[in-house]
């Protein structure tokens, strides 16, 4: 568990305070899953005495302050900055030096209720359908294996439930038969209507498999014997949205852009504009704002808690973990023939140095006299179960 002092210039409001004040009312109003309760417990105890920590003490001027441990829960808005930077550093070692497209695959609104009911099954199907759409088109049109990184988001800026995948895709791929890189078109990867139609077909096929295997049993709309067929017939009539941007010009821009998405949670403390016992106001899109009751705010927040151990960032094609030492290395040789591929990756800096680079705050130095801080362990009782 990392030691993290509260950074200077912290936001005025904290989601943890909303959880502490209004969690009981939320639980009285609706049933929470075990995982949702764990997340709320982690957030309200993050960087508090309940998780232990140490005392930062300066012998020179007498300054002292407690520094409490972070919860490190992936849904906590205060625990993602360092994890994000570590992820970016790790991916930099595998990113190919080519242009990358940003493609977004969105589930239709008709599937949101079913997604809430069987989150893991539907999200897994979404990953499979979207990745196979890209890989299949690359095989048929470029005779190549793309590099694809995908990550799941389930929210809008208003915290509404809106499952979609962000995909960062190489502009071309490793040719399947010849030792060469097969580039895509410069301005677009594949036609969006073609991607949408193929994505729709693959997702509908996945839903049929889930239904046939009885993985969707218990869903209210399917108690009607014709409910499932009616849903699929409706979904087949509509155009499914696949959005694609023009490619990034430089590989390092891809990482910085993608890094903003990888460890983002539904809402950050910095977006909170006003919090009272009766309302929560936060920024949405284009500097607009929305005001909710605290219970409604927490209800929207917990609906984005992912299933336990669910992998929300996945890699496919030459970026797949199983192909790092084979196809990815072959692609790097073709694109960077003079680079020493066997060079050892740079070691991760200690977290205080990393925090200093990110925020400019040196947690090893006294904020008053800049003398060296001594750390004295704080002994607190063991925190209660996070499922409480």
Give the pLDDT confidence of 232-244 residue by residue, as tens digits.
Answer: 999 999 999 899 8
Paired residues of 151 in beta bridges: 166, 313
Sequence-separated (6 or more) residues with CB below 8 Å from residue 342:
none
Structure tokens at 205: 């096929």
Q: Is the pLDDT of residue 343 over 50?
A: no
Judge whether 342 lies within some domain.
no
Number of domains in the chain: 2
- Sheet strand arrangement including 181-183: 144-145, 172-175, 181-183
Mean pLDDT of 88-104: 84
Mean pLDDT of 117-130: 98
pLDDT of residue 363: 72
296 is in which domain, residue-wise?
Answer: 1-79+291-303+348-388
Whether residues 188 and 330 share a domain: the answer is: yes
Q: Does 252 or 157 have the greater pLDDT score?
A: 157
3 state SS of 167: strand
Judge whether 85 lies within some domain.
no
Whether residues 192 and 252 share a domain: the answer is: yes
Phi, psi of 347 (to 5 degrees): -70, 150
pLDDT of residue 345: 46
Whether residues 186 and 148 share a domain: the answer is: yes
Please give the DSSP secondary-structure letter assigned to residue 219. Answer: -
Judge whether 234 lies within some domain.
yes
Q: What is the pLDDT of residues 262-300, one digit of tens each?
A: 767 889 999 999 999 999 999 999 889 999 999 999 999
pLDDT of residue 6: 42
pTM for the full predicted model: 0.85
pLDDT of residue 155: 95
Whether residues 230 and 255 share a domain: the answer is: yes
Structure tokens at 291: 């005001």
Sequence-separated (6 or more) residues with CB below 8 Å from residue 381:
none
Phi, psi of 374 (to 5 degrees): -100, 145
Whether residues 73 and 127 share a domain: the answer is: no
Phi, psi of 64 (to 5 degrees): -155, 145
Identify the burial level of 104 via C-beta atoms within 10 angstroms of its C-beta, where 0-12 means exposed, 13-18 middle and 19 or more buried. middle
Whether residues 183 and 321 share a domain: the answer is: yes
> Per-residue confidence at 344, pLDDT binned at 50, 70, 90?
very low
Give, for 112, the enclosing helix (H) or strand (E): helix 112-117
Whether residues 45 and 156 share a domain: the answer is: no
Q: What is the pLDDT of residues 206-230, one digit of tens each?
A: 999 999 999 999 999 999 999 999 9
Whether residues 42 and 10 share a domain: the answer is: yes
Judge whether 381 lies within some domain.
yes
Whether residues 174 and 311 share a domain: the answer is: yes
Whether residues 153 and 112 share a domain: the answer is: yes
Contact 139, 145 (CB under 8 A): yes
């Amino acid at each position: 568990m990392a030691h993290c002092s509260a950074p200077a210039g912290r936001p005025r409001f904290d989601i943890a305070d909303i959880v502490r004040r209004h969690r009981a009312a939320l639980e009285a109003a609706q049933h929470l899953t075990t995982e949702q309760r764990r997340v709320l417990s982690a957030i309200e105890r993050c960087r508090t005495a309940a998780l232990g920590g140490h005392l930062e003490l300066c012998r020179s001027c007498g300054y002292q302050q407690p520094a409490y441990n972070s919860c490190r829960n992936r849904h906590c808005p205060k625990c993602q900055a360092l994890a994000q930077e570590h992820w970016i550093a790790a991916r930099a070692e595998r990113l190919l030096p080519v242009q990358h497209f940003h493609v977004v695959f969105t589930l239709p609104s008709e599937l949101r209720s079913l997604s809430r009911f069987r989150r893991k099954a539907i999200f897994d199907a979404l990953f499979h359908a979207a990745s196979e759409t890209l890989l299949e088109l690359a095989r048929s049109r470029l005779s190549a294996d793309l590099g694809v990184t995908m990550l799941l988001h389930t929210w809008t800026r208003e915290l509404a439930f809106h499952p979609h995948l962000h995909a960062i895709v190489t502009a071309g791929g490793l040719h399947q038969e010849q030792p060469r890189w097969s580039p895509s078109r410069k301005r677009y990867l594949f036609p969006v209507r073609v991607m949408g139609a193929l994505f729709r077909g693959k997702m509908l096929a996945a839903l049929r498999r889930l239904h046939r295997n009885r993985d969707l049993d218990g869903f209210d709309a399917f108690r009607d014997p014709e409910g499932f067929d009616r849903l699929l017939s409706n979904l087949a009539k509509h155009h499914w949205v696949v959005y694609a941007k023009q490619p990034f010009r430089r590989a390092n821009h891809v990482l910085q852009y993608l890094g903003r998405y990888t460890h983002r949670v539904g809402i950050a403390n910095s977006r909170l504009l006003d919090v009272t016992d009766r309302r929560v106001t936060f920024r949405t899109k284009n500097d607009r704002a929305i005001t909710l009751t605290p219970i409604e705010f927490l209800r929207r927040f917990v609906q984005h808690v992912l299933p336990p151990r669910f992998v929300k960032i996945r890699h496919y094609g030459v970026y797949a973990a199983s192909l790092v030492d084979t196809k990815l290395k072959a692609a790097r040789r073709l694109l960077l023939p003079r680079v020493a591929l066997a060079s050892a990756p740079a070691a991760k800096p200690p977290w205080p140095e990393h925090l200093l680079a990110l925020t400019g705050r040196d947690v090893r130095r006294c904020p008053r006299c800049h003398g060296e801080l001594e750390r004295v362990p704080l002994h607190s009782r063991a925190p209660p179960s996070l499922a409480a």
